[in-house]
Amino acid sequence: MKLESLPAGAAASNVHAPSGTHVLADLSGIDAEKLSNCAALETLLRGAAEAAGAHVLFSHFHAFGAGQGVTGVVLLAESHITIHTWPERNFAAADIFMCGSAQPELALALIRKALQPGAAHVHTSRRGPP
């Protein structure tokens, strides 16, 4: 569990409208070893958040045991990134929601580069009031 503070002045200068981009990615055909390493997945998602221009507030990841899946969340000032993995199925589900100037597509690009899925189904939605 890692807790961080925002850079000085970030909270005051980054006033966000209640809208953002929500990316859901089903990633399959991933090597099982990449889906059961809790520390590596946490490092990957924290790096993905930074690559997207988001500010990490907190992260928590849980491994379900040797060779088993991982569930994790990176809480962002701009919202969140989560991942749930099933190494026995070579599958990961990622959820990336970011507001403001953060770019969730950049986060997903980094995740895809690292996990190298054989296939990906990605759904992107704009969120917020009409």
What total number of domains does the chain contain? 1
Q: C-alpha distances in angstroms, 47 versus 29, 52, 66?
A: 22, 9, 24
Whether 99 is catalytic: yes
Q: What is the pTM of this model?
A: 0.86
Reply yes or no on whether 22 is catalytic: no
* CATH number of the domain enclosing 92: 3.60.90.10
Question: Is residue 101 annotated as a catalytic residue, yes or no?
Answer: no
Catalytic residue among 59, 84, 101, 121: 84
| Euclidean distance between CA atoms 53 and 15, whole angstroms | 15
The whole-number pLDDT of residue 30 equals 98
Question: For 56-107, what is each residue's pLDDT tens digit?
Answer: 999 999 999 988 999 999 999 999 999 999 999 999 999 999 999 999 999 9
At residue 35, the pLDDT reads 98
Q: Which domain holds residue 75?
A: 20-127
